């Protein structure tokens, strides 16, 4: 219940512009490492491995605190909706005008007809509600807002077998 209240307070503050996102040049590697470390124990409890593929570090404009918050929400969902003994992969690629962060899980997946709804406030998919009781449907909404306020984008793609890939871009 405490986690839910914390998420709702953050959401309210963000929507009412009480939280100021202030992008600065920060190490992407440090941001990714901090986000992974915050979900590591939950992943470990389920024997889920989190693998990060990053050839080199880059200093990109982002608000480290709030970008970590967004990534933690995405990674926590990947762990929450994945079976034990699976893997969550985080891949970072450098494109000419953006950095691409992909978070790929082997979870329950998101039905095609729900992909456009998952970033809505308080939305939880039908299977997600049945399989996992905790959650209020604010994590992905909050993540999208944080990313978009920094000039980034986020989309989710259904994998052909099982799982989901979240693709996040930040301008360079």
Q: Mean pLDDT across the chain, nearest whole number?
A: 86
Find the largest Cα–Cα distance for the chain: 43
CA distance 134 to 144: 20
> What is this structure's pTM?
0.86
Residue by residue, DSSP assigns 88-154 as EEEEEEE-SSEEEEEEE--BS---GGGTTTTTSTT---HHHHHH-----S-HHHHHHHHHHTTT-EE
Please report whether residue 123 resides in a domain: yes
Please report whether residue 43 resides in a domain: yes
Please report whether residue 15 resides in a domain: no
Residue 163 belongs to domain with CATH number = 3.30.565.10
CA distance 71 to 34: 9
Helix axes 139-148, 64-80, angle to 10 degrees: 150
Please report whether residue 14 resides in a domain: no
Please report whether residue 16 resides in a domain: no
CA distance 48 to 79: 7
Q: Length of the chain, please?
A: 172
Domain containing 99: what range?
A: 2-9+22-171
Task: Encode the chain (172 residues) as per-residue pLDDT tens digits.
Answer: 455 556 555 655 556 565 688 999 999 999 999 999 999 999 999 999 999 999 999 999 999 999 999 999 999 999 999 999 999 999 999 999 999 999 999 998 888 888 888 888 766 665 554 455 465 567 898 899 899 999 999 999 998 788 999 999 999 8
For residue 61, the SS3 value is strand
Pairing of strands 49-53, 87-94: parallel
Q: Which DSSP state fits 142?
A: H
- The C-alpha R_g of the chain, in whole angstroms, comes to 15
How many domains are there within the chain?
A: 1
CA distance 41 to 36: 10
The stretches of the chain forming alpha helices (DSSP H) are: 2-15, 28-45, 64-80, 126-131, 139-148
């Amino acid at each position: 219940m405490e986690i839910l209240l914390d998420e709702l307070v953050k959401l309210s503050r963000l929507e009412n512009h009480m939280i100021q996102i202030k992008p600065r040049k920060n190490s992407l590697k440090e941001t990714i490492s901090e986000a992974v470390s915050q979900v590591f124990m939950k992943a470990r409890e389920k024997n889920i491995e989190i693998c990060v593929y990053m050839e080199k570090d880059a200093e990109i404009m982002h608000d480290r605190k709030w970008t970590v918050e967004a990534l933690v929400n995405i990674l926590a969902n990947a762990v929450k909706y994945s079976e034990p003994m699976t893997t969550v992969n985080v891949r970072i690629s450098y494109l000419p005008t953006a950095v691409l962060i992909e978070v790929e899980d082997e979870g329950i997946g998101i039905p095609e007809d729900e992909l456009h709804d998952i970033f809505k406030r308080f939305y939880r998919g039908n299977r997600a509600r049945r399989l996992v009781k905790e959650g209020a449907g604010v994590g992905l909404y909050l993540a999208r807002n944080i990313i978009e306020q920094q000039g980034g984008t986020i989309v989710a793609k259904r994998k052909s077998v099982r799982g989901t890939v979240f693709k996040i871009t930040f301008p360079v």
